[in-house]
Structure 1
Amino acid sequence: ATERTITREELDRQGDFANIIGADPQLLKVLEVVSRVAPTEASVLITGESGTGKDEIAQALFRNSSRREQPFVKVNLGGISSTLFDSEMFGHVKGAFTDARQDRTGRFALADGGTIFLDEIGDLAPSCQVKLLRVLQDRTYEVLGSSKTRSVDVRVISATNQNLLELVESGAFREDLLYRLNLIVLHLPPLRQRPEDIPLLARHFALGAAQAYRRDLEIDAAALNWLQTLPWPGNIRQLKQLVERTALMSPSSVLGTDDFSAALSMQPEEGQSGSGDLPAPGTMTLDELERSMIVRCMERYQGNISRVAQALGLSRAALYRRFEKYGIDP
């Protein structure tokens, strides 16, 4: 028998998915798995490109779990150096090292009884992977500067925009840690594979901008069609930024293609709408269009990697991977 696709309405009756916009079949399959595994204690690994909504899926897993009244602690592992890992994750006692002037509660202690969300798990240094594995295996850890072993009860959700199997093959990620994390794997499709959801998301972000800026705001049909043709290297995060930027830059209450095109081009010169800068829909491949967006951003921000990454809704690491893919010399 052919598998029946669940409807968005059925999913919304089954659980709380209010923070997730869309009705794309790939997304609905992910949400269906979320509704099934959220009430369990299973560890979940969320994969997908930068800006695809991994945070929102982690929140949905938490809100539909039996631990929803307990803490939800998000840790961006990409932002923690290996030297600070122990102090950040396990805490330290006063005097544990030179700058330890007072006790510090670690992230695992803060999440005890609830859920810990380990974001950017692929960026974790090998020396820290061993320590994390030990906690996940034994459910115990030691506070830095203390010999007392503490137990912890957490549900673990992790996320990455990298291919962890490739990292395992290259020796950059521990296979035993991967198998601790990926009992359930949820893969989020990039926005370019969800074109039907782009108008829904754009309208949702326009509504948010209208409330934030206290003005009437809508997007015309031609602009919604045009937005569906763009490659969105920064995915949903980039679409949100573009809608908000366009709402700020355009005096009109009905946002059109020219308004979005001007905001996307971010042109420094006065008096240019920027609409001539972008190709007509269908004249370039998605890769060519994505490459041109990155090159234009590099010119606009004079090669400032941080600002280019922010404008495109990408992490610096994801932007460098795009440079490599398209042969762009930063």
Structure 2
Amino acid sequence: MVLVVDDDIAVRSMLSLLLRQNGFEVTVVASPPEAMEHVRRYTPELILMDMNYTADTSGEEGITLLKQVKIFCPDVPVILITAWGSIHLAVRGMKAGAFDFITKPWSNETLVATVRRAVELSSNSQKSVANSSRVELNSKFHFEKIVGQSAKLMEVLNTVARVAQTDAPILITGESGTGKELIAEAIHANSRRGSESIVKVNLGGVSQSLFESEMFGHKKGAFTDAYHDRIGRFSLANGGTIFLDELGELDLSCQVKLLRVLQEQTFEVLGESRPTKVDVRIVCATNKDLSQLVANGLFREDLFYRVNLITIHLPALRERPEDIPFLAKHFAQNMQGVDGRSIELGSSAIDLLQRLPFPGNIRELKNLVERTVLVSGKSVIEDEDITRNMPSASGAVVEVDSGALLPLDEMERKMIVRAMELYSGNISKVADALGLSRAALYRRLEKYGIRFD
């Protein structure tokens, strides 16, 4: 049952009719006292409430009512109704415990989707909170790309399992290299949109001048050099999921444009006057502290609360060292086939890896294991092999067996040749495995005269 609280009889009637037409039971009341009387006797699935009930338009009545109903119904989601010009009130409400907010005039489709999402999430959270084991999760969900079974990782996977089936926007936080993109892929794969596309956008690589064209598309002739129509990323993701990585890098002027799309799921293609409607699940990621950026005036507070509906934090690798053996063996096994070798990590290698800090997290571990396998040429990797291939930037003491010394150029050439063989000449994969950019890899291929057809 949805409780609607609004002093305007026309609004109450419209919301009641709309929600009932979409399968919800609805109770309507006109004032805060009536709302409090209702929640003292019943527990609704969701509360949809206005921010103002008298001539006072400060929103304080709504904030007060929100705090009061949260005392009686702490787990019931509350959606606030506010005018677009009063979004700062909605942000205050989100801080006070509101689930989300909608703006007047609202889109019926957006409002119903927001209500449905809130009810689904509330229902999921009220189900059994017992966490599943990794075996149980693997039998029910697509988590095959995610390696490990530490308590902190299992907490993440259980959260993904609970929220994937909803359309709620999700913010994934964590240091660089912790696997945020893999979690975004898992959210998409386990959602109702799993058969559709997931479109990935690195916002740190999108310039301010090209943001609208990149995200929303443009028509031929919309601006200088617009020689052809371009389909934007949001259109490509229609029906599926859009993954916005490096959200903290987004310029303030672009944040306004993104907020409108998240709010209404509509945008205007450059060169077109009519709005385009899309059905897209939003998943964002950042390695920055967005709340601190908000405090410093570098990130919009209303956008922060719009994308921060559900937050999944990925722990750093140093916080889950028990996963390092699983990850290292996984990366080593992926390298099998080089020179016909089968690859095994010895116990001394595993012990050393678990003691390393890995400031670059899983990405650094992957590069170290793959580099060691390529350079050592051994079937069994031990700690001394790992030590030889640790980059000096890690700050570790590098102990080198003088009998195994090779000229640096020769060592580099052999490493590149082995990587090219392993990845069948796929430049992107070779560059990633060696920790190089594509341009740097091309320069080295030319330097050593390496050809791979």
Amino acid at match of 1:88: E
What does residue 305 of structure 2 align with?
A: 179
Which runs of 4 or more aligned residues in structure 1 lie more than 4 Å from their structure 2 counterparts after TM superposition? 310-315
SS in structure 2 at match of 1:96: coil
Percent sequence identity over matched residues?
56
Hey, what's the Cα distance between the residues in 2 that align with 1:204 and 1:314? 21
State the Cα distance separating 1:213 from its structure 2 match: 5.9
State the Cα distance separating 1:50 from its structure 2 match: 0.3
User: What CA deviation, in whole Å up to 9, does each residue of 1:36-84 have, x standing for no partner?
Assistant: 1000011110000000010110000000000011111000001001001
Distance change in 2, residues 1:44/1:22 (3 Å):
same
What does residue 282 of structure 1 align with?
A: none
Within 5 Å, give how 1:183-194 maps onto structure 2. 183-194=309-320
User: What CA deviation, in whole Å up to 9, does each residue of 1:266-311 have, x standing for no partner?
Assistant: 69xxxxx94269xxxxxxxxxxxxxxxxxxxxxxxxxxxxxxxx89
Hey, what's the Cα distance between the residues in 1 that align with 2:435 and 2:325? 18
Hey, what's the Cα distance between the residues in 2 that align with 1:179 and 1:314? 37
SS in structure 1 at match of 2:254: helix
After TM superposition, the score normalised by the length of structure 1 is: 0.80
Within 5 Å, give how 1:185-224 maps onto structure 2. 185-211=311-337, 214-224=340-350
User: What CA deviation, in whole Å up to 9, does each residue of 1:172-191 have, x standing for no partner?
Assistant: 11111011111110000000
Distance change in 2, residues 1:78/1:312 (3 Å):
farther
Within 5 Å, give how 1:318-329 maps onto structure 2. none
SS in structure 2 at match of 1:275: coil
1:133 paired with 2:259, answer yes
1:229 paired with 2:355, answer yes
Distance change in 2, residues 1:162/1:221 (3 Å):
same
What does residue 275 of structure 1 align with?
A: 399
What does residue 70 of structure 1 align with?
A: 196
User: What CA deviation, in whole Å up to 9, does each residue of 1:211-237 have, x standing for no partner?
Assistant: 466421111001101100111011001
What does residue 149 of structure 1 align with?
A: 275
What does residue 318 of structure 1 align with?
A: none
Contact 1:117–1:157 at 8 Å: present in 2 too? yes
State the Cα distance separating 1:6 from its structure 2 match: 3.1
Hey, what's the Cα distance between the residues in 2 that align with 1:210 and 1:274? 26
Contact 1:237–1:313 at 8 Å: present in 2 too? no
Distance change in 2, residues 1:32/1:94 (3 Å):
same
SS in structure 2 at match of 1:99: coil
Amino acid at match of 1:230: L
Hey, what's the Cα distance between the residues in 1 that align with 2:142 and 2:245? 22
What does residue 210 of structure 2 align with?
A: 84
What does residue 59 of structure 1 align with?
A: 185
State the Cα distance separating 1:239 from its structure 2 match: 0.6
Amino acid at match of 1:253: S
Distance change in 2, residues 1:203/1:71 (3 Å):
same
Amino acid at match of 2:145: N
Please provide the CA RMSD for this pair.
Answer: 2.2
1:118 paired with 2:244, answer yes
Q: Higher RCO, 1 or 2 (CA under 8 Å, sep at least 6)?
A: 1
Greater CA radius of gyration, 1 or 2?
A: 2
Contact 2:316–2:361 at 8 Å: present in 1 too? yes
Contact 1:89–1:108 at 8 Å: present in 2 too? yes
The count of residues paired between Structure 1 and Structure 2 equals 276
Hey, what's the Cα distance between the residues in 2 that align with 1:260 and 1:31? 30
What does residue 59 of structure 2 align with?
A: none
Contact 1:51–1:314 at 8 Å: present in 2 too? no
Contiguous gaps of at least 5 residues in structure 2: 1-128, 402-431, 438-453
From 288, 294, 308, the counterpart of 1:168: 294
Hey, what's the Cα distance between the residues in 2 that align with 1:163 and 1:202? 29
User: What CA deviation, in whole Å up to 9, does each residue of 1:252-276 have, x standing for no partner?
Assistant: 1111111111111369xxxxx9426
Hey, what's the Cα distance between the residues in 2 that align with 1:17 and 1:44? 18
SS in structure 1 at match of 2:221: coil
Hey, what's the Cα distance between the residues in 2 that align with 1:50 and 1:215? 32
Hey, what's the Cα distance between the residues in 2 that align with 1:314 and 1:77? 21
Hey, what's the Cα distance between the residues in 1 that align with 2:207 and 2:340? 41
